[in-house]
Chains A and B, each alone.
Chain A
Amino acid sequence: DIQMTQSPSSLSASVGDRVTITCRASQSISSYLNWYQQQPGKAPKLLIYGASTLQSGVPSRFSGSGSGTDFTLTISSLQPEDFATYYCQQSYDTPRTFGQGTKLEIK
């Protein structure tokens, strides 16, 4: 199985901050990397697919980059509704695997 490792596991930031979350794959996955946001008690929501393509309706302050084994999710200016847990997921191979999550909290 391809292991996905996110860093940090948790992060405290303030409204307006620029935040970057990293996801590393245990082997090259080309650009087959997706990012999801999960609010407490809710289903995950797709933010970015193909490493850098913004899902329809997702604010442009979210962006993704990377290829191979190293990927980043950046939020350019944090809004109150962005405090949530973020997961990366590889779609290069089965089984599909997710990172352990990064919890973004208000400082």
Chain B
Amino acid sequence: QLHLQESGPGLVKPSETLSLTCTVSGGSISSNNYYWGWIRQPPGKGLEWIGNIYYSGTTYYNPSLKSRVTISVDTSKNQFSLKVYSVTAADTAVYYCARRDYDSLTRAYFFDYWGQGTLVTVSS
């Protein structure tokens, strides 16, 4: 059974960098079929897609965050990571990592496995 686990500081100061890592177990991050993504959810609000990465390093970002975000992958550790630069209170959210799968029959893309999420608060 695939398992994803987010880790990183729960408190970040304004203007600093938020750094999170997602560790994947029960499967290889280097599989040809999957992308790996980050999604966030401010307290009491909806879901916002941040970006996806392939094991080769190919990335896709939400244009609204692209100038402040980097997603990277470390296949040797079966991990991928998120950095958000110059954070403000608006970046306070639960951050989820997830696997993005593709179904060739329906040609659908979807997030089928999610981590439990980690709350990151931006505050001095």
A interface list, Cβ under 8 A from B: 1, 31-32, 34, 36, 42-46, 49-51, 53, 55, 87, 89, 91, 94-101
Please state if A32 and B109 are interface contacts (CB–CB under 8 Å).
yes
Is A95 a contact of B63 with CB atoms below 8 Å?
yes
* Contact, CB under 8 Å: A91 / B114: no
Q: Are A53 and B49 in contact (CB under 8 A)?
A: no
Choose from A50, A55, A87 the contact partner of B112 (Cβ within 8 Å).
Answer: A55
Q: Please provide the 4 A-B residue pairs with the shortest distance between their CB atoms, ordered closest to farther.
A: A50-B106, A50-B108, A43-B114, A49-B110
Q: Mark B39-62, 1 if CB is under 8 A from A, else 0.
A: 000000011110000000000101
Would you call B80 an interface residue if the criterion is a C-beta within 8 Å of the partner chain's C-beta atoms?
no
Chain B positions within 8 Å of A46 at CB level = 110-112
B106 touches A44 (CB 8 A): no
Query: DSSP majority for the A interface?
Result: loop
Q: Are B109's CB and A43's CB within 8 A?
A: no
- Of chain A, the residue at the smallest CB distance from B112 is A46
B residues within 8 A CB of A87? 46-47
Q: Is residue B116 within 8 Å, beta carbon to beta carbon, of the partner chain?
A: yes
Residue numbers of B with Cβ under 8 A of A are 46-49, 60, 62-64, 96, 98, 103, 105-112, 114-117
A53–B111 CA distance with the chains assembled, in angstroms: 14
Q: Kindly identify which residue among B49, B103, B106, B110 contacts A97, using a CB–CB cutoff of 8 Å.
A: B49
25 A-B pairs, CB-CB below 8 angstroms?
A31-B106, A32-B107, A32-B108, A32-B109, A34-B110, A36-B47, A42-B116, A43-B114, A43-B115, A43-B117, A46-B111, A49-B103, A49-B106, A49-B108, A49-B112, A50-B103, A50-B106, A51-B108, A53-B103, A87-B46, A89-B110, A91-B108, A96-B49, A97-B49, A100-B46
